[in-house]
Amino acid sequence: MNSGRRFEGPSDLHLHSTYSDGTEPPAEVVAAAHRHGVRTLALTDHDTTTGWAEAASAATSLGMTFLPGMELSARHEWRSVHLLAYLIDPDDRALRAMTDRIRSSRVDRARIMAERIGRDYDVAWEDILAQTSAGTTLGRPHIADALVAAGVVRDRGEAFAGILSPAGDYYVDLYAPDPVSAVELVVGAGGVPIIAHPAGRAGLLPNAVLRRMLDAGLAGFELGHRENLAPGIRTLRGIADQRGLIVTGSSDYHGLGKPNEPGENTTSDANVARIIAAGSGSEPVYP
Ligand code: AMP
Ligand code: FE
Ligand code: FE
Ligand code: ZN
C-alpha cells in the first residue's frame, strides 16, 4: 500500500515508553528521539502495542516516520530472550493470546516478588503499582522504581544488581514462550522477528536454538546495541553475512530508566527498507 512512500534516516528501531518500562509517554519518547536527530523510529514496548497510536501521531506531526514494533518476551532455559517484532498485526489472535498470558504472568510474579521484598523492606504492592499507569506492562523496573522512591536504592541499576537479581532471594521467573515459538508467533502475525541485544553478558544462544529460530523465520540480529560484546557480535555478523540476514542498531531508550540515549545506535536505510518490505501485519506511518 505504502510501497512508494519513503522514510528518512537516521533510524532508531528500539525505544520504550511508559506502556512498558520507559519513563516517558510515547509522545515524549518521540520528541526525545527527534531532538537527538532520529527521523524514523519504532516503539518497542515489552509485550504490548498500546503505545502505537500515540507514538505515530507524535511522530508524523514532527515529520518523522513511525514503524510499529514490540519487544516480545521469550525464554531459553534460564535465560531471557527478547525478540523485536516489527510490523506485526496487533490484533493477531495467537500473538495477542501470548502477550496477554505473559502480561498477566508478569503481574503474578511481581506480586510474589513484592511480598518477598516486603518482608525485608518497607515497599508494598501499592507502591509498585504507583510506578505504573493504565496499560503498563509490569516489570522489575517498576519494582526498582518503588525501591528508589522508598530510598532503599539509588537507581534501577543498583536494584537490578542486588534486590532484583535472578541470583537473589526475591526473584521470581515470569512465564515466557521458548524462542522458536516466539519467532513462529511473530511470523504468523505478519511481523519481522529480530533478536534484541543478542550478544550480551549472558552469551549467545546455543547454535542449535539459533538454527531452529532461523528455520522458523528469524529475520536478523540487533548487533548495534550497547550491551552486545565484541566477540559475540563478530560471530553473529558472520552468520548474518552468510545467510543474508537483516542487521539493526538501536538505542533501547528507556527515558530516565537507563543511560541509553536515542540515536546512539542506528539502522542503515537499506536494512530499514528490508524490514518494511518483509513485514505484512501492519504498515509504517509516514509523515
Ligand atoms: P523483567 O522483564 O520484568 O524481568 O525486567 C527486565 C527489564 O529490566 C528489561 O527490559 C530491561 O530493560 C530492564 N533492566 C534490566 N537490567 C537493568 C538495569 N541494570 N537497569 C535498568 N533497567 C534494567
Ligand atoms: Fe526494558
Ligand atoms: Fe530487551
Ligand atoms: Zn528493550
Predicted confidence (pLDDT) per residue in 63-90, tens digit: 999 999 999 999 999 999 999 999 999 9
pLDDT score recorded for residue 262: 98
> What is the Å distance from ligand 1's center to 203 Cα?
17
pLDDT over 70 (residue 4): no
- The whole-number average pLDDT for the span 187-213 is 98
Q: Tell me what pLDDT residue 5 has.
A: 77
Residues facing 77 on adjacent strands: none
Compute the mean pLDDT over every residue in the chain, rounded to the nearest whole number.
97
Q: Which residues surround ligand 2, an ion (CB under 5 A)?
A: 21
| CB of 160 shorter than 6 A to ligand 1 | yes
**Span 7-14, average pLDDT:** 98
Distance 141 CA to ligand 1 centre (A): 6
Predicted confidence at residue 1, as pLDDT, reads: 45
Give, using CA atoms, the residue closest to atom 14 of ligand 1.
141
Of all protein residues, the one whose alpha carbon is nearest to atom 18 of ligand 1 is: 157
Mean pLDDT within 195-206: 97
Kindly state the average pLDDT of the residues 114-130.
Answer: 98
139 lines ligand 1 (CB under 6 A): yes
Pocket test for ligand 1, best of 82, 103, 156 (most atoms within 8 A of CB): 156
The residue nearest atom 20 of ligand 1, judged by CA position, is 157
171 lines ligand 1 (CB under 6 A): no
Helix axis angle, 179-188 to 93-120, nearest 10°: 140
For the segment 14-32, what is each residue's pLDDT rounded down to a tens digit? 999 999 999 999 999 999 9
Regarding the beta carbon of 141 and ligand 1, being less than 6 Å apart is answered: yes
Residue 15 CA, ligand 2 centroid: distance in Å:
9
Q: In this predicted model, what pLDDT tens digit does every residue of 239-282 receive, in sequence order?
A: 999 999 999 999 999 999 999 999 999 999 999 999 999 999 99
Region 187-203 average pLDDT: 98
Cell of 237: 555478523
Do 222 and 14 contact (CB within 8 A), yes or no? yes
Q: What is the pLDDT of residues 220-242, one digit of tens each?
A: 999 999 999 999 999 999 999 99
Task: Quote the pLDDT of residue 2.
Answer: 46
Q: How far is CA 119 from CA 124, 138, 141, 154, in A?
A: 9, 21, 19, 20
**Ligand 1 pocket, mutate which of 15, 17, 18, 21 (most atoms under 8 A from CB):** 21
DSSP-derived 3-state class of residue 231: helix
Give 142 Cα–ligand 2 centroid separation in angstroms: 10
Q: What percent of the chain has pLDDT over 90?
A: 98
Distance CA(110)–CA(87), nearest Å, equals 29
Atom of ligand 1 nearest to the CA of 138: 3
What is the end-to-end Cα distance of the chain in Å, rounded? 15
Q: How many CA atoms, within 13 angstroms, populate the side-chain half-sphere of residue 67?
A: 35
Per-residue pLDDT band at 47 (split at 50, 70, 90): very high
CB proximity list for 108: less than 8 A, separation 6 or greater: none
